[in-house]
Amino acid sequence: MVVYFSGTGNTRYAAECISELTFDETRDMKELIRTGKRVKFYSNKPYVFCAPIYAWRFPPLVESFIENSDLWGSNEVYFVATCESQTGNAAKYLKAICEKKGMRFMGFAGIPMPENYTVMYKAPSEAEQKKIFDRADEEIVRITNIIIRHQHLDDKLDMKLLKPFTAIINPWFYGAFVSSKKFRVTDSCVSCGKCVGVCPYKSIRLVNGKPVWADKCTHCMACLNGCPTSAIEYGRRTVGKKRYLCERKPNIIWR
């Protein structure tokens, strides 16, 4: 079973590719998180949890979801991350979750994907995106072959010298950057409510037809990048920046 969390589509794409190549099913973690209920899974095949890297770790709501879910059937768990370049020490924390749950940690690997954190960076051009996805597809095939063979997965994006800094960078990032307070909406808003439906925390509601953000936020950028009229801004940081959504569908040929 392939279970994924995705804000702007990068991880969804990777998860669907792995699922298609392994003839397995996918489950959208965001939709399950929104229910607020404890989830019970059953899979005869290894579990594959896919999520983006936020400050060198899986997002807290993803780690919490995995830790609090019941996993039946297979005892093997793989972890696949999508990120722009670095995975930090994410594997350490995921391995600890497996040990706590009595599951067998089968490895972790990162897949390079186009930058989507609009608050800090610019989205790559279409030409740049194509090059990145070409590399991503190669890594997806490598990862899938390992999963099918039940072998241990290693991370090609592993930067060992940076691993110790995860314990410092991650809490600093969430303390300094992750907040909903600067989200705002411009006159381009058409009151479609799409932002309400994509927030994993259900922290957005419409008031007089306009979105209002509650405090709980993980900066998945689903609301900002998914707005059909680009009406959502984050302070002045996102003004004039191109929005990014991955709408690609699996189309990978075995190599």
DSSP string, 99-110: HHHT-EEEEEEE
* Count of other CB atoms within 10 angstroms of residue 122: 12
- CA-to-CA distance for 97 and 38, rounded, in angstroms? 16
pLDDT of residue 163: 80
Beta strand 210-213 pairing with 204-207: antiparallel
pLDDT tens column, 176-190: 889 999 999 999 999
Average pLDDT along the chain: 94
215 phi, psi to nearest 5 deg: -70, -35
Please give the radius of gyration of the chain, using alpha carbons only, rounded to the nearest integer. 18
pLDDT of residue 253: 62
pLDDT tens column, 104-131: 999 999 999 999 999 999 999 999 999 9
**Which amino acid is residue 71, in one-letter code?**
L
Q: How many CA atoms lie within 13 A of 24 on its CB side?
A: 24
Residue linked to tokens 């792995």: 18
| 158 contact partners, CB below 8 Å, separation of at least 6 | 87, 110
Q: How many CA atoms lie within 13 A of 67 on its CB side?
A: 14
Helical pair 126-148 and 10-22, crossing angle rounded to 10 deg: 40
- Inter-CA distances, 168 with 160, 172, 178, Å: 15, 6, 15
pLDDT tens column, 28-49: 999 999 999 999 999 999 999 9
Q: Does the pLDDT of residue 21 top 60, yes or no?
A: yes
| 202 contact partners, CB below 8 Å, separation of at least 6 | 34
pLDDT tens column, 216-252: 999 999 999 999 999 999 999 999 999 999 999 998 7
| 159 confidence band (pLDDT: 50, 70, 90) | confident
Give all domains of the chain, ordered by start, each with its CATH number.
2-169 (3.40.50), 179-234 (3.30.70.20)
Structure tokens at 101: 């749950």
pLDDT of residue 85: 82
| 255 confidence band (pLDDT: 50, 70, 90) | low
Q: Does the pLDDT of residue 14 top 80, yes or no?
A: yes
Q: Does the pLDDT of residue 162 top 80, yes or no?
A: no
- CA-to-CA distance for 70 and 146, rounded, in angstroms? 24
14 vs 84 pLDDT, higher one:
14
Q: How many CA atoms lie within 13 A of 8 on its CB side?
A: 25
Q: Does the pLDDT of residue 254 top 70, yes or no?
A: no
Structure tokens at 204: 């957005």
pLDDT tens column, 63-104: 999 999 999 999 999 999 999 888 989 999 999 999 999 999
127 phi, psi to nearest 5 deg: -65, -40
Beta pairing partners, 103: none
Structure tokens at 253: 């040929």
